[in-house]
Chains A and B, each alone.
Chain A
Amino acid sequence: MLKNLTIEGTAKLLKDKKISAFEIANSYIKEIKESKKLNCFITISEEVAFDAAKKTDARISENKKIGLLDGVPLAYKDLFCTNNILTTASSKILSNFTPTYESTVTANCKSQGAVVLGKLNCDEFAMGSTNKTSFYGPVINPWKSSDKDDELVPGGSSGGSAAAVAADLCVASLGTDTGGSIRQPASFTGLVGLKPTYGRVSRWGTVAFASSLDQAGPISKTVEDAAILLEAISGHDNKDSTSSLKANEQFYANLNSSVKGLKIGVPKEYMSDDLPEEIQNFWNDGKKILAKNGAEIVEISLPSTSTALPAYYIIAPAEASSNLSRYDGVKYGLRVQEKNLIDMYESTRSEGFGNEVKRRIMIGTYVLSSGYYDAYYIKAQKIRSIIKNDFDSAFKNVDAIFTPATPNTAFPINREEVDPVQNYLNDIFTVPANLAGLPAISIPFGLDNSGLPIGMQLITNSFEEQMLLNIAKNLQDTLNFNVQPTQWWK
C-alpha cells in the first residue's frame, strides 16, 4: 500500500513517472475496500476514479504540463453534490439521491484533474461532532488509545473526511465546517484542517446546514497540502450570492514559514481549569515555539467568548430548520406514501431524519417562532455582532490568535450520552471563528499520554489565510509531528 502520501508527494511521483495515476488510484481503492471496518466511505466511486486517473496518465504520457492536483486521489464529504454519484448527506432522507450537477468546490478539483475515490461518511446533515449521527453508522477513528481498546470517535461532522486521510484511504479530503466540523475531527486524527473565511469558498452545490456559517475546506496531512487544496477550491462563484469578490490567491506558491515580527494573541478566556493538562501543555509549547521563532506572544481578551456557543446553538438550528424544509418527499429523496399531503410530509420527515437532526429542527423552529424570535434569534445575531467586534478589536493589535482546537481528545464511541448539550461543548473553541466568519486552522501538535492526537488552532482576520498558513507551517516545521496510527483495522 501507499503510505503517508501527501498531495505534494503524489504530484512529484507522477511528475517523475515513478508510478502511474491509475496504479495510485487502484492501490487506494483496494485499501478502501479492505478498510470497511472504519466505515469512512458511503460510496466508492471506483469507475469515476479510474477514468480520471487514466486521463491523468494520458496527459503525462503526452508530456502535458500537469497541475499539483492532477491524478491525486481525493475523497469528499458526502455533503458535496457530485454529478451522477450518490450524495446522501449521511441521511436516510437523501439515501437515494443522485445529483445531476456538481458542486462548485468539487467541480474545481475535477477540472484540475483530481481523482475522486468516493464520498465520505459524516454526521447527518453535518450536525454533530462525533460522526455518530450518520444514517450509515459511526465512523471509527483509526487512532486508538494505548491503554484501552475502545473504538473512538473521529470527531465530526467531517469524521469520514478526517479518518480516511489518517488511515491513508485518500491523500487528502474535503470537509465542511459550520461550528468546527473540519478542525475538531482534524484535531482528533492528527491532521491539518482548515476552515476558510466565510465567502472564500463557494457553497453552491454543497448541501446546506447553516448557510451563514458553512464553509468547505481541506483536511490534509500537511499545511502545504491545505494550501494547495484551498487554492483549488477558492474563488468567486456567481452562483453563490455570499461568495466573496476578492481575487483568488496563490496560497501554495506564497507559503513562507517566517513568523518574525508577528504578534500572536492568546485569549485569556480560553484558559480554564477544565482544560486537560496535556492540552494546556501543548498550548504552552506552541507559544514558546512561536516566541522562539521570532513572534511576539501577547495575552488578549475576547470577552464574549462564553456567549459564542449558546449563540451558535440558536443561529445554526434556526437556519437549519429552514434549510431542511425542502426535504419533504415531493421532489427527490425518501417519500413515505400516505393518503394526504400533511401525513406524507410528517411520515417522510420523521422516517428520513435522525434524532439529532430532529432535535435541531425543533430548536430552530422554536427560536424562530412567533413570540420567541426576538428573545432568541435576534438576540443571538446581536451576540454575533459583539463577537465579531471582539475579534475586530483584537486584530487591531495582533496578527493571529492561538488557541487549543478542542477541549478534549477523541473519546469512545460508546460513551454514554445523557444530554445533547454535553456534545455541543466539543465546539467551544471552534465556534467563535464561524460566527465571525474568520479563517481558522487546526494543526496536529503531538500525542497525549494515551497516544491520542492533540491539535491547536490559529485564527486570523478575514481573508488572511496566507498568514494563517504561514504561521501553521512554521509550527509544523518546528514540531515535525509525523506519527501514523497503527493499522489495526484490516
Chain B
Amino acid sequence: MNNNWQTVIGIEIHAQVNSKSKLFSSSSTEFGSAPNTQVSLVDAAMPGMLPVINKFCIEQAIKSGLGLNATINNKSIFDRKNYFYQDLPQGYQISQFKDPIVGEGTVEIDIDGKKKIIGIERLHLEQDAGKSLHDQDPNMTFVDLNRSGIALMEIVSKPDMASPEEAIAYVRKVRTILRYLDTCDGNMEQGSLRADVNISVRKEGDELGTRCEIKNLNSFKHIGLAINFEVDRQIKLIENGDKVNQETRLYDVSTDKTRSMRSKEDAHDYRYFPDPDLLPLNLNQNWIDEIKKTLPELPDTKKIRFINDYKISEYDADVLTQDKSISEYFEDVATNRSTKLSVSWVASELFAVLNKLNLTIDKSPINSKQLGSLIDEIENGTISNRAAKEVFEEMVTSEKSVKDIINDKGLVQISDTTEIEKFINQVLIDNPDNVQKYKDGKTKLLGFFIGEVMKVTKGKANPGLLNQLVKKKLDN
C-alpha cells in the first residue's frame, strides 16, 4: 500500500446494558427466547403506550461513563430519531441526540508496548431495534421484536485511530472496561457488543476524507478485515480519480468485502426532537458520587498494580488483566504463593485447557482454589513440576482433590536423601563405563545419570536434591 496514505477511524460501539428488563418497558432481555415472546405492549408500540425508563440502565450508563474517564452530564434529554423500518415498531427510536448522559472521556490502548489515548466523544442510552429474518420465505421478511427496546449504550469515539490494530485494541479495551464494570457482558457472538466503524483515508497533511460507515461488526476479526478491505477500496477509488461516497456499508462475512447498504438519494432526515413522553433526566450529583464509590479497580490500574506487586512482566500483567474474572482468578491463586508458578500455571497451562475446551474462566473445570492447592504441593516439594502436569490433566476431568490424585497415582516425590542415594548408587554400579568417562572430564554425563535415576524412580525423585546428590557422589 502507498505509504503516503493515512487511515482515519472512528468507532461507535453499541453495548447492551446487562439489565434484566428493557430500557423503557419491563419485558425480559433474556437471549434466545421464542420469537415475539418478550415483547410488551410498549415494545410493540401499541396505541397509547408510553415509555418509563429503567433506573438500573441509567446507573449502568453513569458507571460506564465513569469507567471511560468521562464527564457525566447532570441534565440529559431523550430524543426521538424518526425513521420507518420494519423492526422499529414506534417509527422512531428513543435515543439521545443533543444532550447525552455522558460527555467526553478517554481510553488508553497499547500497541506493541506503545500507549495511545483514544478520545471518547460521548456515551448515550438508546433503544435497540428488533430483528429481521430474510431467509425464511422467498417473498417475505419475518420480524422478531424480542430485542426491540433493549437498552444500548452507544459509545462514540473520536476519529483517533489510524489502523485496524488500533481499532481492534480500542474495541477490545472498551469491552474489557465494560466487563470490569459489569455494565455489559460483552458477548459479541450474541450481539451484546457491536461496532460501527467509520473509515476515511487521506494523504498526509490533507483534510479529512469522505468517510464510510460499516455497520454492525460483531467480532474483532471482522473489524480488522472490514477495515483493511475498506481502506484498500477507498485508496483505489481515489487513485483512479473517483470519489468516495459518504454512505453506510455492510460487511459481508462470506466474501470479506463491504458493500453499499443505503443509496445516497435515500438519505435520512431523522427529525430528532425531545421525546414529549419523557421529561428531562436530571442527575443528582450525590447519586453520581455514590456510583463512583462502587467502581471496581479498572484494568489499567490493576495492570500497574500487578507489575508492581507481583513483579511480573508487562506482557503477563496485560494477559492477566484483560478480563476481570481472569485477574481475580490469578490473584486468588497468587496470594501467598510463588508468583512465577502462579503466572505460569494460570497463563500457560490453564489458558491452554480453556482454549482447547472453548471455555471462559468462569466456566473453568479447575477453580482457583484447586489450582492453588496444586501449586502448594509443588512448593512444599510433595510433587515435581512434571508430576504436577499429570495431576493437572487429571483435574480437568476429575472431581477428585489434588491430594487424592497424587496419592492414587503414586506421584509423591522422593525427597529423602538416603533413599535417593540408594537409587544413585545402583545407577553408578550399573554404569561403570560412564562413571569412568565422567571422571575423565566428560562432566556433561551428569544429565545421563540424573535421567537414569529418574527412570528407575519413575520421575519421583526430587530433581533439585537428585542433582545435588549425583554431583556430590561423582565428584567425590
Interfacial residues, chain A to chain B (CB-CB below 8 A): 80-81, 87, 89, 94, 97, 99-101, 103, 203-208, 210-212, 238-242, 318-319, 321-322, 324-326, 328, 330-332, 341-342, 345, 365, 368-370, 373, 377
Q: Contact: B50 with A345, CB < 8 Å?
A: no
Nearest A residue (CB) for B278: A241
Q: Which residues of B contact A324 (CB under 8 A)?
A: 91
Q: Contact: A322 with B47, CB < 8 Å?
A: no
Given A212-B276, A326-B91, 20 extra CB contacts under 8 A: A81-B48, A87-B47, A99-B47, A101-B46, A204-B48, A208-B48, A211-B277, A238-B52, A239-B50, A242-B279, A319-B276, A322-B80, A325-B91, A326-B47, A326-B89, A331-B89, A341-B141, A345-B84, A368-B82, A373-B271
Of the candidates A81, A97, A328, A332, the one whose C-beta lies within 8 Å of that of B91 is A328
Q: Contact: B269 with A369, CB < 8 Å?
A: yes
Known: A210-B276, A341-B141. A241 touches B53 (CB 8 A): yes
Q: Contact: B273 with A322, CB < 8 Å?
A: yes
* Minimum distance in angstroms from A158 CB to a CB of chain B: 16
Q: Contact: B50 with A204, CB < 8 Å?
A: yes
Nearest A residue (CB) for B91: A325
Q: Contact: B48 with A207, CB < 8 Å?
A: yes
Q: Contact: A373 with B45, CB < 8 Å?
A: no
* Minimum distance in angstroms from B130 CB to a CB of chain A: 10
Of the candidates B48, B143, B269, the one whose C-beta lies within 8 Å of that of A203 is B48
CA distance A204 to B51 in the complex (A): 10
Q: Contact: B47 with A97, CB < 8 Å?
A: yes
CA distance A81 to B273 in the complex (A): 26
Q: Mark B23-48, 1 if CB is under 8 A from A, else 0.
A: 00000000000000000010011111
Q: Contact: A331 with B44, CB < 8 Å?
A: yes
**Which secondary structure dominates where chain B touches chain A?**
loop
Q: Mark B69-112, 1 if CB is under 8 A from A, else 0.
A: 00000000000101010100111100000000000000000000
Q: Which residues of B contact A345 (CB under 8 A)?
A: 84
Most chain A C-beta atoms within 10 Å of own C-beta, residue among B86, B92, B141, B277: B277
Q: Contact: A241 with B51, CB < 8 Å?
A: yes
Known: A242-B279, A322-B82. A99 touches B46 (CB 8 A): yes
Q: Which residues of A contact B275 (CB under 8 A)?
A: 211
CA distance A326 to B275 in the complex (A): 15
CA distance A103 to B46 in the complex (A): 12
Interfacial residues, chain B to chain A (CB-CB below 8 A): 41, 44-53, 80, 82, 84, 86, 89-92, 141, 143, 269, 271-273, 275-279
CA distance A319 to B79 in the complex (A): 12
Q: Contact: A240 with B143, CB < 8 Å?
A: no
14 pairs across A/B with beta carbons < 8 Å? A81-B47, A99-B47, A205-B49, A208-B277, A240-B52, A241-B51, A241-B53, A242-B276, A322-B82, A325-B84, A331-B44, A368-B82, A368-B273, A369-B271
* Minimum distance in angstroms from B349 CB to a CB of chain A: 54
Of the candidates B46, B82, B277, the one whose C-beta lies within 8 Å of that of A241 is B277
* Minimum distance in angstroms from B275 CB to a CB of chain A: 8
Most chain B C-beta atoms within 10 Å of own C-beta, residue among A89, A100, A208, A241: A241
Nearest A residue (CB) for B268: A370
Q: Contact: B48 with A368, CB < 8 Å?
A: no
* Minimum distance in angstroms from A436 CB to a CB of chain B: 15
Q: Which residues of B contact A342 (CB under 8 A)?
A: 84
**Which secondary structure dominates where chain A touches chain B?**
loop
Of the candidates B49, B89, B273, the one whose C-beta lies within 8 Å of that of A377 is B273
Q: Which residues of A contact B276 (CB under 8 A)?
A: 210-212, 242, 319
Q: Contact: B47 with A341, CB < 8 Å?
A: no
CA distance A341 to B49 in the complex (A): 24
Q: Which residues of A contact B86 (CB under 8 A)?
A: 330, 341
CA distance A369 to B47 in the complex (A): 24
Q: Which residues of A contact B279 (CB under 8 A)?
A: 241-242
Of the candidates A203, A326, A330, A331, the one whose C-beta lies within 8 Å of that of B50 is A203
CA distance A365 to B273 in the complex (A): 11
Known: A319-B276, A325-B90. A206 touches B48 (CB 8 A): yes
Of the candidates A330, A341, A373, the one whose C-beta lies within 8 Å of that of B273 is A373
CA distance A345 to B141 in the complex (A): 14
CA distance A345 to B91 in the complex (A): 11
* Minimum distance in angstroms from B82 CB to a CB of chain A: 5
CA distance A211 to B90 in the complex (A): 14
Known: A368-B273, A377-B273. A330 touches B143 (CB 8 A): yes
Q: Which residues of A contact B89 (CB under 8 A)?
A: 326, 330-331
Q: Which residues of B contact A321 (CB under 8 A)?
A: 82, 271
* Minimum distance in angstroms from B66 CB to a CB of chain A: 25
* Minimum distance in angstroms from B99 CB to a CB of chain A: 14
Known: A326-B90, A369-B269. A89 touches B50 (CB 8 A): no
Nearest A residue (CB) for B271: A368
List 6 tightest A-B contacts by C-beta distance, closest first: A325-B91, A211-B276, A212-B276, A368-B271, A326-B45, A205-B48
Nearest A residue (CB) for B52: A241
Most chain B C-beta atoms within 10 Å of own C-beta, residue among A206, A324, A325, A365: A325
CA distance A326 to B276 in the complex (A): 16
Nearest B residue (CB) for A368: B271
Nearest A residue (CB) for B47: A207
CA distance A203 to B42 in the complex (A): 13
CA distance A204 to B52 in the complex (A): 11
Q: Which residues of A contact B52 (CB under 8 A)?
A: 238-241
Nearest A residue (CB) for B84: A345
CA distance A355 to B82 in the complex (A): 22
Q: Which residues of B contact A204 (CB under 8 A)?
A: 48-50
Known: A101-B41, A318-B273. A325 touches B48 (CB 8 A): no
Q: Which residues of B contact A99 (CB under 8 A)?
A: 46-47
* Minimum distance in angstroms from A157 CB to a CB of chain B: 16
Q: Contact: B82 with A325, CB < 8 Å?
A: yes
Q: Which residues of A contact B278 (CB under 8 A)?
A: 241-242
Most chain A C-beta atoms within 10 Å of own C-beta, residue among B48, B51, B271, B276: B48
Q: Which residues of B contact A206 (CB under 8 A)?
A: 48
Nearest A residue (CB) for B42: A239
CA distance A382 to B469 in the complex (A): 93
CA distance A190 to B457 in the complex (A): 111
Q: Which residues of A contact B277 (CB under 8 A)?
A: 208, 211, 241-242
CA distance A238 to B51 in the complex (A): 10
Most chain A C-beta atoms within 10 Å of own C-beta, residue among B80, B276, B277: B276
CA distance A328 to B90 in the complex (A): 9
Q: Contact: B48 with A103, CB < 8 Å?
A: yes
Most chain B C-beta atoms within 10 Å of own C-beta, residue among A203, A238, A322: A322
Q: Which residues of A contact B47 (CB under 8 A)?
A: 81, 87, 89, 94, 97, 99, 207-208, 326, 332
